[in-house]
Amino acid sequence: MDKIEKLQRNRNRLLGIAAISFLLWQGATLGIDIAGAAQWTHPISTLVMQISLIIGAVAWAGAMLMLVGYQRAVRQAGACTVLRDELFLRHRTVAILYGFTGMVAVAALLLAVSTFVEFSAEIAIRAVLISGVFIPLVMLVRLERKALPDVS
């Protein structure tokens, strides 16, 4: 495996960690908000959501720090243009399109739900934000993984 491929795999791993940690962090916050609005108190579920929130937030911060370190490694290897090639840019565009579609779908779903159930703006904003960050990250990782050759 050459240096560039290693960097690509590291990038995918980092983006994957960032996506999952964001989902854990913001998903748990959304869960807590919804439970609060519905006045639903279940100690074990609340504890699970709080633990997920803490783990997610710490992992997200860790992923961001690792991303800074990764960028330094890319710069040192002089691989910026190689890693940002045509295929990567295409994948990024496709991932963004999926993210946008996901955001619109969630907003439309919330609009329909809001006619039957009353909920706060915070819940709506968070739900759309989660789809806007999680979907493009996951799609980018998936597309990039498909483009990489098998290690085996």
Partner 1 sequence: MDDISKLMRDQNRVMTAMGLIFAIWQGSTLAREITLSAAPQFGDTAILYADRVETVGGVLWVLATIALLLVMRRVKRARAQDVMRDELFRHNQSLAMKVGFKAMIALIVVLVGFEAFFELTSGIAIRAMMLVAVLAPLTTFVILSRDDSAVEA
- Site residues for partner 1 per CB under 8 A: 93, 96-97, 99-100, 103-104, 107-108, 110-111, 114, 118-125, 128-129, 132, 136
Count of Cβ atoms closer than 10 Å to residue 109 Cβ: 13
> Residue 7 or 107: which CB sits closer to partner 1?
107
Nearer to partner 1, 73 or 129 (CB): 129
Cβ neighbours around 66 below 10 Å, total: 15
- Amino acid identity of residue 22, one-letter, is F
Q: Which residue's CB is nearer to partner 1, number 74 or number 123?
A: 123
- Single out the residue of 80, 70, 64, 89 nearest to residue 143, CA to CA: 89
Residue 25 Ramachandran class (φ > 0 left, ψ -120 to 50 alpha, else beta): alpha
Minimum CB separation of residue 49 from partner 1 in Å reads 21
**In this structure, how many other beta carbons lie within 10 angstroms of the beta carbon of residue 41?**
9
Considering beta carbons, is residue 45 or 114 the nearer one to partner 1? Answer: 114
* Minimum separation from the CB atom of position 114 to partner 1 (A): 5
Q: Closest distance between partner 1 and the C-beta of residue 71, in Å?
A: 21
Which residue, 87 or 97, is less far from partner 1 as judged by CB?
97
State the minimum distance, in angstroms, from the CB of residue 28 to partner 1: 18
Shortest spacing between CB 124 and partner 1, in angstroms: 5
Cα 20 from Cα 134, distance rounded (Å) = 8
Contact in structure between 128 and 106 (CB atoms under 8 Å): yes
